[in-house]
């Protein structure tokens, strides 16, 4: 089970085709076919259905392992590379939309500590941030999510990064000001299982997280998907009645929008800092500034 076989296996699954994966990897189709055949004969299972190309049960399981393994291999190389080169004064911060606000103060502290710092901030979807920090694409990550108080987020459990709590804030349900529940002093998420929700996983709390928090398998039906986007768009969509959203209290200001604190279950909006195993001097200064006054 060689790592480069796993690499092409993952590429084939992602591309949905042997030939497309071959183009992507710079091989011929035949080579890819042989590599998959070799993996399958090694493991004595068929990993892929052909026509259309789609992982079998065993293939899906292998994929669950292959992606973290490849991520970790990239992370290892990246860490060794960083160790060799001189410590550059560079700080690429990647932050999820609702976590980005925390970057400002810490970035200022890092620039104070290193005046010639070459710094940059990018707002990104939560999903890839852990992996990017692990593989050196980012020097620092800021992610957010909902969790029970003091519980860790574990956004990318397989990425070899250190996570530290930055802040925890109460949550609120955003709803149109005219909504019958808008005047309530507080809400229980479990009473909103049957409402219609905005599906904006990059900005608001993702619906699966709400289901988990409420302890239900179904419910929190999406009314409108909103990929990417920013807080203002989500606020406008909620105000326009497209669906509800769970946001940190005080995050969304918009005419026609009301906010009701979440009373139960006991969950909070949590922000975490993701650091590589060997953060450079600037990363250390950044993270020290953020975790000094944490929670």
Residues contributing to the site for its own copies (CB under 8 A): 1-4, 43-45, 57-58, 61-62, 64-66, 68-69, 72-73, 75-77, 79-81, 83-84, 148, 150-151, 160, 277-278
CA-to-CA separations, 55 to 9, 42, 46, 80, in angstroms, rounded: 10, 17, 9, 33
Strand-strand pairing, 48-49 and 54-55: antiparallel
Is residue 3 a contact residue for DNA (CB under 7 A)? Answer: no
> Which of DNA, its own copies, none does 80 bind, CB closer than 5 to 8 A by kind?
its own copies
Number of neighbours of residue 137 by Cβ within 10 angstroms: 15
Considering the complex, what minimum distance in angstroms separates the CB of residue 9 from its own copies? 11
Choose from its own copies, DNA, none: what does 155 bind? Cβ within 5-8 Å by kind: none
Closest approach of Cβ 79 to DNA, in Å?
Answer: 22
Within 13 Å and on the Cβ side, how many CA atoms surround 19?
Answer: 2
Least distance from C-beta 184 to DNA, angstroms?
54
Candidate list 1, 2, 149, 278; residue touching DNA; CB under 7 A: 2
Task: Pick out residues in 44-83 that bind DNA (CB under 7 A).
Answer: 50-51, 53
Q: What CA–CA distance (Å, rounded) separates 11 from 22?
A: 8
Q: Which does residue 28 touch among DNA, its own copies, none (CB within 5 to 8 A, set by kind)?
A: DNA
Angstrom distance (rounded) from CA 124 to CA 146: 17
Residue (1 or 108) nearer to DNA, CB? 1
End-to-end CA distance of the chain: 45
CB of 147 to its own copies, least distance (A): 11
**CB contact at 8 A, 138 and 103:** no
CB of 19 to DNA, least distance (A): 4
CB atoms within 10 A of CB 223: 15
Which positions from 6 to 35 touch DNA by CB under 7 A, shown as an x/- string?
A: -----------xxx------xxxxxx-xxx
Cis peptide before 265 (omega within 30 of 0): yes
Q: How many helices (H) and strands (E) does the chain have?
A: 9, 13
Q: Between 79 and 230, whose beta carbon lies closer to its own copies? A: 79
Q: Which residues bind DNA (CB under 7 A)?
A: 2, 4, 17-19, 26-31, 33-38, 50-51, 53
């Amino acid at each position: 089970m060689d790592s480069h076989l796993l690499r092409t296996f993952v590429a084939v699954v992602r591309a949905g085709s042997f030939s497309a994966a071959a183009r992507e990897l710079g091989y011929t189709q035949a080579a890819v076919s042989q590599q998959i055949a070799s993996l399958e004969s090694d493991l004595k299972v068929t990993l892929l259905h052909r026509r259309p190309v789609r992982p079998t049960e065993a293939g899906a399981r292998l994929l669950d392992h292959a992606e973290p393994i490849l991520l970790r291999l990239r992370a290892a190389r990246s860490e060794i590379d960083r160790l060799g080169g001189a410590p550059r004064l560079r700080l690429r911060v990647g932050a999820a939309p609702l976590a980005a606000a925390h970057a400002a103060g810490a970035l200022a502290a890092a620039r104070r500590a290193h005046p010639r710092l070459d710094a940059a901030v990018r707002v990104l979807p939560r999903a890839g941030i852990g992996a990017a920090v692990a593989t050196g694409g980012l020097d620092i990550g800021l992610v957010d999510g909902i969790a029970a108080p003091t519980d860790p987020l574990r956004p990318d459990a397989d990425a070899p990064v250190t996570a530290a709590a930055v802040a925890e804030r109460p949550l609120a349900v955003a709803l149109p000001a005219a909504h019958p529940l808008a005047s309530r002093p507080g809400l229980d998420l479990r009473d909103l299982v049957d409402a219609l929700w905005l599906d904006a996983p990059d900005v608001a709390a993702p619906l699966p997280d709400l289901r988990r928090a409420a302890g239900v398998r179904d419910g929190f039906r999406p009314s409108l998907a909103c990929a990417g986007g920013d807080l203002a768009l989500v606020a406008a969509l909620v105000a326009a009645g497209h669906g509800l959203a769970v946001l940190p209290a005080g995050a969304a200001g918009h005419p026609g929008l009301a906010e009701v604190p979440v009373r139960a279950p006991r969950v909070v909006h949590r922000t975490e800092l993701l650091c590589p195993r060997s953060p450079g001097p600037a990363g250390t200064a950044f993270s020290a500034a953020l975790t000094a006054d944490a929670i």
